[in-house]
């Protein structure tokens, strides 16, 4: 389990607070869904299928968006795998 991700506080509104760095940021509905998957320890490889199931997005289309989202998370200092 990624401790960095389990330590952050995520509210249902999408407001995120990282208690170790003091950073705050806002997530949209999809971002919030993905962060909750990361916190639950779901492998990023399964993200396209999860998005398809939840939002009926084609997996091929979802893959690019997920890649971009994970890259943003890395820019913010989170150690997350690439898809």
Partner 1 sequence: MNLPDFCVGVTGLNMTDSPAPGVAVMRCIKEGFKNRFTGIGFGYDSMDAGLYERQFFKHVYLLPYPSEGPENLLERILTIHKKTPMDVIIPTLDAELFNFISIRKDLQKEGIMTFYPTKEQYEMCAKIKLHVLGEKADILIPKTSVEKELKKLSAGIENIGFPLMVKGIYYDAYLAYSYDEVYRFTRKIVSRWGMPVILQKYIRGVELDVAALGDGEGGCIGYVPMRKLIITDKGKGWAAVTINDQKISALVSRFFSATKWQGPAELELIKEEGSDNYYLIEINNRFPAWIYLSKAAGINLPYLTVLMARGETVEKNQPYKIGVVYNRGTCDLVFDMKQLEIMNMEGELHYE
3-state secondary structure of 63: helix
Residue range at the interface with partner 1 (CB under 8 A); choices 22-30, 34-42, 43-51, 54-62: 22-30
Complex with partner 1: residue 24 or 43, whichever CB lies closer: 24
Cβ atoms of residues 40 and 30 within 8 Å: no
Indicate whether 13 belongs to the interface with partner 1 (CB under 8 A): no
Quick one: which of 12, 19, 56, 60 contacts partner 1 (CB under 8 A)?
A: 19
> What CA–CA distances, in Å, run from 71 to 13, 66, 74, 78, 82?
22, 8, 5, 9, 8
Chain residues binding partner 1 by CB under 8 A are 9, 17, 19-24
């Amino acid at each position: 389990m990624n401790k960095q991700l389990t330590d952050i506080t995520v509210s249902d509104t999408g407001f995120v607070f990282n208690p170790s760095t003091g950073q705050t940021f806002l997530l949209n509905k999809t971002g919030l869904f993905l962060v909750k998957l990361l916190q639950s320890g779901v492998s990023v490889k399964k993200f396209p299928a999860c998005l398809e199931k939840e939002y009926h997005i084609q997996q091929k289309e979802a893959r690019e968006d997920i890649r971009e989202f994970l890259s943003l998370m890395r820019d913010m200092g989170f150690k997350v795998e690439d898809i």
